[in-house]
Structure 1
């Protein structure tokens, strides 16, 4: 029996593969996958399904995969109700409220906010006691305040470079984001030994990585 793992392809995939290798998984087939979207390890213990982030939770909720590896931004936006077992401490970034220099977050006017994350954005402005109009944008969110589509944006940023290069300023910091390992509830009951073996091995890798980072800072 192979554990089926939906892995967010692209940036998350590249960050997670080294962790999987340090946890004792031979990721050679995954690194040499070419255009394959389903990859089996040589020992048949794991089957990786490469998917876009928002689809990872869809597969989890449908029960077609046992484990999902995906950013916490997507989990929070989709209000995931499966079991989150581990923060992998990679793919770190931050939600921010950003706009042009003349934006006033405290102004009484009803604001228009551009974002890929309407649920998270609505919660944030509700916490401020503000009712806003949300415009969902799937592409370059940074464009919205520059072309007059929105007063400000809520988006995730890793370094802030794109914001700075487009003369946008951060007005507030929201939740931090990182990559999480999430397990389907039924799979946790049916394959608990295999799931917890993987989680325990990854937890050791992540803990060692954090320890080494701490030593470098000192």
Structure 2
């Protein structure tokens, strides 16, 4: 039997996900956070784990390079792909929000400038509200944008809200709750149904 391949990014989410896999009976003893290995195998040599960039996980799964992927809901929302989303792992919980100064209003007659690393989600959200926007894509320290007059508001992931608060910003609207999700390649699910369902069942039990 060929290995069941799982794709994920290294980091806190991977550490927590692998702890759930271990509780589910899938142990990766050779994994440690200092390792530079991009491919490792479980102790029973049945599952192959590949480490990729978080934004690339859905593509690896959609194209069949991985059977299963672990990735944040925000990534799935920003770049939708043709996969099954089958399980909320409940880790990496945060919110995707619109944030800005406390008194900021969204007049439908004015053009709103929004900074975000999620341009697709941002456009879809404001389109649904009938608000015209100009989106500027930045990948880091976007809380700075309202402070220097570069944007009216930002769209970003918020966990504790501490960074917003320290910069005089607040959550104005919540777009979505975000956490790590398990996604599955559609062809893999059709051909390896029992194996994938067993993994999901074991993970659900580990989550309880």
2:137 is aligned to 136
C-alpha distance after superposition, 1:79-102 (max 9, x if no partner): 122011111111110011111234
**Aligned partner of residue 57 in structure 2, secondary structure:** helix
Q: Counterpart of 1:167?
A: 168
Detail structure 1 runs of 4+ shifted over 4 Å in the superposition. Answer: none
Secondary structure of 1:54's counterpart equals helix
Give the TM-score normalised by the residue count of structure 2.
Answer: 0.94
Say how many residue pairs are matched: 207
Aligned residue for 1:182?
183
CA offset digits 1:111-154 (Å, max 9, x no partner): 11000111111111112111101111112221111122111101
Q: Give me the whole-angstrom Cα distance separating, in 1, the residues matched to 2:54 and 2:114.
A: 23
**CA distances 1:37-86 after superposition (whole Å, capped 9, x unpaired):** 11111211111111111110111122111111000110111112201111
- Rate the CA distance shift 1:41–1:114 in 2: closer, same or farther, 3 A: same
Q: Distance in 2 between matches of 1:62 and 1:19?
A: 25
Structure ranking higher in helix proportion? 1
1:84 aligns with 2:94: no
The match for 1:22 is: 23
**1:104 to partner: Cα distance:** 1.7
Determine the C-alpha separation between the residues in 2 that align with 1:79 and 1:194: 25
Per mean C-alpha deviation after superposition, the further-off stretch among 102-111 and 182-191 is: 102-111
Cα offset, 1:106, TM superposition: 3.4
Q: Which residue of 2 aligns with 1:74?
A: 75
Report the 3-state secondary structure (helix = DSSP H, G, I; strand = E; otherwise coil) of the residue aligned with 1:30: coil
Query: Does residue 1:2 correspond to 2:6, yes or no?
Result: no
The whole-number CA distance in structure 2 between the counterparts of 1:33 and 1:163 is 31
Could you tell which deviates more after superposition, 26-35 or 133-142?
Answer: 26-35
Q: Following the alignment from structure 1 to structure 2, what is the Cα–Cα distance between the partners of residues 33 and 153?
A: 34
1:181 to partner: Cα distance: 0.5
TM-score (norm 1): 0.90
For 2:34 and 2:114, how far apart are their aligned partners in 1? Answer: 39
Equivalence for 1:55: 56
Are 2:24 and 2:206, in contact at CA under 8 Å, matched by a contact in 1? yes
What is the rounded CA distance, in whole Å, between the counterparts of 1:32 and 1:161 in structure 2?
A: 26
